[in-house]
Amino acid sequence: MKLTGKTAVITGGNKGIGAACALAFSREGANVVIAARNMSDSNRIVEQIISEGGKAAAIATDVSDHEQVKNMISRTVEMFGKIDILINNAGIIADSFINKMTLEQWDKVIATNLTGTFYCIREAVPYMIENGYGRIINTSSVAARKGAVAQSNYAASKAGIIGMTLSLAQELGKYNITVNAVAPGYVATDMTSNLPEKIMERANKVIPVKRFGTPEEMAAAFLYLASDEAAYCNGAVLDINGGLSL
């Protein structure tokens, strides 16, 4: 198995892409820590992993709260002794046209999506440096490449993640820590299930492969970047969007 003996922290790991990553990583031998706000959803994934013979734990975490992130990282090390892999997947949306967007909508999205990613990396990196190994994979979005109407806050946060990824890949590579990103397009998750039918139909028309992606297809990209097969992959942004960004 590709991740035997590794410990992976997955923020937002209780739904959609994050849950698919949690299951995929466990099936490849990793100890999995799910860091998310909703413990009932997190516990459900943990129970599934354990029922399959894996090792997992859930820690209630709002990544926009630095103290909660510090606690989550330290508890992970207490339970499993180290952190090898960090998947920064927690994210929210608060869509609005710019002239109607509230300060709260802007601040909440940036605080969770971008600042939360910073908090997690900042707290995990010292342990990775100490161990001489790390895989950091950040979730960006096709919106970072193309923008999105009524999503200036979301697109800005995801574009910021790409800039952070490229910067930290250069900064941390000397410690045998790689930093990469995955930029999904439309994926069939809870977040997209609430889209109006007309928007979904329009999206399927412009996606070259004519469909939304699946969480499992996204998880395969994260799994590759977390594996030793991707040891020389650093500072990459994988666009997994069915050709939407072309």
Contacts of 22 (CB under 8 A, 6+ apart): 10, 13, 14, 32, 34, 45, 49, 56
**Averaged pLDDT, 17-22:** 98
The yes-or-no verdict on residue 189 having pLDDT over 90 is no
Does residue 127 carry a catalytic annotation?
no
Q: What strand order describes the sheet that includes 56-60?
A: 56-60, 31-36, 7-11, 85-88, 134-139, 177-184, 237-240
Taking the domain 7-240, which CATH number applies? 3.40.50.720
pLDDT in tens, 134-184: 999 999 999 999 999 999 999 999 999 999 999 999 999 999 999 999 999
Provide the Cα torsion 76, 81, 84, 87; round to 10°: -10
pLDDT in tens, 34-44: 999 999 999 99
How sure is the predictor about 196, in pLDDT bands with cuts at 50, 70 and 90? confident
Q: State residue 128's pLDDT score.
A: 98
**Averaged pLDDT, 223-231:** 98
The yes-or-no verdict on residue 204 having pLDDT over 90 is no
**Averaged pLDDT, 194-222:** 89
How sure is the predictor about 200, in pLDDT bands with cuts at 50, 70 and 90? confident
**Averaged pLDDT, 87-106:** 97
The full DSSP string for the chain is: -TTTT-EEEEETTTSHHHHHHHHHHHHTT-EEEEEES-HHHHHHHHHHHHHTT--EEEEE--TT-HHHHHHHHHHHHHHHS---EEEE---------TTT--HHHHHHHIIIIIIHHHHHHHHHHHHHHHHT-EEEEEE--HHHHH--TT-HHHHHHHHHHHHHHHHHHHHHGGGTEEEEEEEE-SB-SHHHHTS-HHHHHHHHHHSTTSS-B-HHHHHHHHHHHHSGGGTT--S-EEEESTTTT-
For the chain, the structural domain boundaries read 7-240
Distance CA 62, CA 135 (A): 22
**Token pair of 128, please?**
């990775």
Of the candidates 154, 175, 224, 232, the residue annotated as catalytic is: 154
Q: State residue 197's pLDDT score.
A: 79
The yes-or-no verdict on residue 202 having pLDDT over 90 is no
The yes-or-no verdict on residue 190 having pLDDT over 90 is no
Of 156-170, 195-209, 211-225, the one with minimum mean pLDDT is: 195-209
The yes-or-no verdict on residue 193 having pLDDT over 80 is no
**Averaged pLDDT, 62-76:** 98
